[in-house]
Structure 1
């Protein structure tokens, strides 16, 4: 196994230095009055207690790959893979001649070899400044870069894999995906740990640009150790008549918060976001989503659905924001949660912020326990109570799966959710 590394160009070194200086002025949110953090308190978190990973041998990296259980069991033929273990990235291909095809590279390598493709986007898409984003700017190594040139269609997916192997350390994955005008691609991303007992921290940033008339399906699944913190800032910008189908599944981790924004910047842009989670124990997952409509005739459709067992808790806060220029916006968002235990707790907080006067924006939220009438109906047809409840739960999550396009992605994610429900329900 050979790692691909490259020295930072001057402009990237300057970015890192500026982020380190900025960190000195930023404080972790520590009280309920901090916007966006009212439902996820983290007073026990000390970021400095999670330093960067140690240098390790090739044999240790190989052992980490062997120990990690991938989210996706079966990959479509021709899938291009690139893997990051803690802060070292391996694989990727088509490293030269962008005019001849797409690039799948470690982001550090791309920044050195193709600064004209990286610098215009890196740090220009995800712009919120928090201790988490600043620390990622400062600390990320390796990283993932996917670039698809104009009118180029990828026939097979690209798989990005983060493996966290070192306990007590912080992984700072950085992903940049750029589709030029008319390009099409499918990118799958998975984050896993080498052990269910691994206590660590993952602090990631994802930046996506979808050009005019381009189409991207981005599948993002984290199944980290349930003793690991997770924080993330993810943002996609979509140009005129561009299209993104964004699927995110939160399965593992102990506690954390992920911000996710879809910004529809060009007329006719469309964003579809599907989120799912299945939690148990004392897990706490917090999703903060934003659908921003900056241009006329844009559409967005967001649906999150989760199953919560035992003492676990989740938060979904969703905002649809329409700019004055966003006339004839059509936007929808919903969050539906099924509580399996009396001590499980879910917060669902939809919101609208609309400056245009010709829009159609709606939202829905529901939190409920298993419907006893559905269980009674199934038991009246001869099913035992336990099996009846299980079918109701599986049916609830199956409605989420129907949002996935038929084919490899639906099959893969259906299997992922099935395995997770088996783990949660026992």
Structure 2
């Protein structure tokens, strides 16, 4: 178990500033705050979910907690946090090599690597991000120096175990010029009925000509709130492959931005969700093109059952100087029941005149003609529906690179499909 770090002066000042800022910030209101037109949270009392403290049996909780990923590539380096306690830390080999540390420890030991990025990538200021600034403990920090390539993934795990509390995870990943890394992140609840709240912030920086694959999956209790602000900045000729899956939680909203800041930068974002019961998931994505010759490709795909509701709102924003931008976004949803509901709202905000930007959105139920075709070949109705749904998800899986990532996420989606169809 990792000893608690002491906040350096600059970090303590950040926390104090957030504490003061919170006095002026109000919770967003339904249709009264931009971006919150589809998610109502009048029943949410943030103060009713105090920050989770340490756990004397954190190691035991981590050992018995469910996992999103059943099989990990050989050599995977792990960092695990239970509520506010780091229980498994993979320290750096030396000060000049890759660093995988609790963020609080890194802020003390490697302030020169943390301070330039922490809070400077994430730009939203809401009661949720300010609370995270004030409250986060432990946290995750991954740093890959210039031209260093990691041979195996880094696995970051958050386990929430204390009912009626808030987990405030904070992740900062920095790749210097020419670096390459793959980071998998999973958030789970120790108990499938846990009533709690997760309020997280993720900051990613991809340097010039660097390559990052970031896989982020939440499979929290379906009685847990989730709120998140996630943002990546990509420098000249940098590349990010960002995969995000929303499986669990009861209700919440996650903002996700990919900012292409340097010429030749590329961002690929793949999102998926599978909801049932009365789950409500709201994804708000932004592809920002701030430099010329940048490309982005975003695709979200979801299946919805029972009375669940999903929202995807996407925006492609092209700055005035970002000529020769090539951007695409799509959202496709398959409704398995008549009471399931999805909203898909693509958008464009273009200030340049030499660009190619396209979008697509679709919401549909299972095609009766597809069912008829399969049943006419002897398949029972249940099996026919299952094949149609699996075919719909297969188009999402093909966006994952062949190898460990595709295999792992394919297994994750299959397990979730079983839960949704049960």
Q: Same fold (TM over 0.5)?
A: yes
1:325 equivalent among 321, 324, 336: 321
Partner Cα distance (1:31, 1:74) in 2? 41
What residue in structure 2 maps to residue 278 of structure 1? 274
User: Residue 53 of structure 2 contacts residue 84 of structure 2 at CA under 8 Å; is this kept in 1?
Assistant: no
**1:391 match:** 387
Note if contact 2:30-2:38 (Cα within 8 Å) is conserved in structure 1.
Answer: no
Among candidates 70, 88, 104, match of residue 67 of structure 2: 70
Give 2:35's aligned residue. 36
Q: CA deviation at 1:254?
A: 0.1
Residue 54 in structure 1 maps to residue 50 in structure 2: no
Query: Which of 362, 369, 374 is residue 373 of structure 1 equivalent to?
Result: 369
Q: Is the counterpart of residue 243 in structure 1 residue 277 in structure 2?
A: no
Residues 98, 149 of structure 1: 8 Å contact kept = no
The 5 A counterparts of 1:131-142 are 131-142=127-138
Q: Distance in 2 between matches of 1:31 and 1:211?
A: 38
Q: Which residue of 2 aligns with 1:7?
A: 6
Decide whether the 8 Å contact of 1:91 with 1:105 is kept in 2. Answer: no
* 1:97 is the counterpart of 2:94: yes
Q: For residue 24 of structure 1, give the secondary structure of its aligned residue in structure 2.
A: helix
When the two structures are superposed, what TM-score results if normalisation uses the length of structure 2? Answer: 0.99
Deviation at 1:360, TM superposition (A): 0.1
Residue number in structure 2 paired with 1:299: 295
Cα distance in 2, alignment partners of residues 226 and 419 from structure 1: 15
Does the CA contact (< 8 Å) of 1:268 and 1:298 recur in 2? yes
The aligned runs of 1:254-273 (5 Å cut-off) are 254-273=250-269
Q: Distance in 1 between matches of 2:109 and 2:6?
A: 10
The corresponding residue for 2:199 is 203
Give the equivalent residue in structure 2 for 1:23.
22
Aligned-residue offset at 1:96: 6.2
Out of 189, 192, 197, the residue aligned to residue 193 of structure 1 is 189
Compared CA separation, residues 96 and 114, structure 1 to 2 (3 A): farther
1:417 pairs with one of 413, 417, 420: 413
Checking the alignment, whether the CA contact within 8 Å between 1:4 and 1:90 is kept in structure 2 is no
SS of the counterpart of 2:258? strand
- Partner of residue 233, structure 1: 229
SS in 2 for 1:73: coil
Deviation readout 1:306-346 (Å, 9 max, x if unpaired): 00000000000000000011100000000000000111000
**Contact 1:242/1:270, CA 8 A, preserved across alignment:** yes
| Structure 2 gaps, min length 5 | none
CA contact (8 A) 1:4 1:91 kept: no
In 2, distance between residues paired with 1:219 and 1:401?
A: 13
Distance 2:364 2:155 in 1: 36
Q: Once the 2 structures are TM-superposed, how far is the Cα of residue 160 of structure 1 from its aligned partner?
A: 0.1
8 Å CA contact 1:149, 1:183 repeated in 2: yes
Q: 1:176, 1:76 → 2: CA distance?
A: 22
| Alpha-carbon contact 2:206-2:233 (below 8 Å) kept | yes
Partner of residue 358, structure 1: 354
**Alignment length (residue pairs):** 422
1:125 maps to 2:124: no
Shift of 1:88: 1.1
Return the alpha-carbon distance in structure 1 between the equivalents of residues 328 and 54 of structure 2: 47
Q: CA deviation at 1:87?
A: 1.0
**Taking structure 1 as the reference length, what is the TM-score of the superposition?**
0.98
- Cα offset for 1:365? 0.0
Deviation for aligned residue 1:61: 1.2
**Which residue of 71, 79, 82 maps to 1:85?**
82
Q: Secondary structure at the match of 1:98?
A: coil
User: What secondary structure, in the 3-state scheme, does the structure 2 residue paired with 1:418 have?
Assistant: helix
1:62-102 deviation per Cα after TM superposition (whole angstroms, max 9, x unaligned): 33123311000000000000001001123333436332x10
The Cα of 1:235 is off from its aligned counterpart by 0.1
Q: CA RMSD in A?
A: 0.8
The 10-residue stretch of structure 1 (294-303 or 45-54) with the greater mean CA deviation from structure 2: 45-54
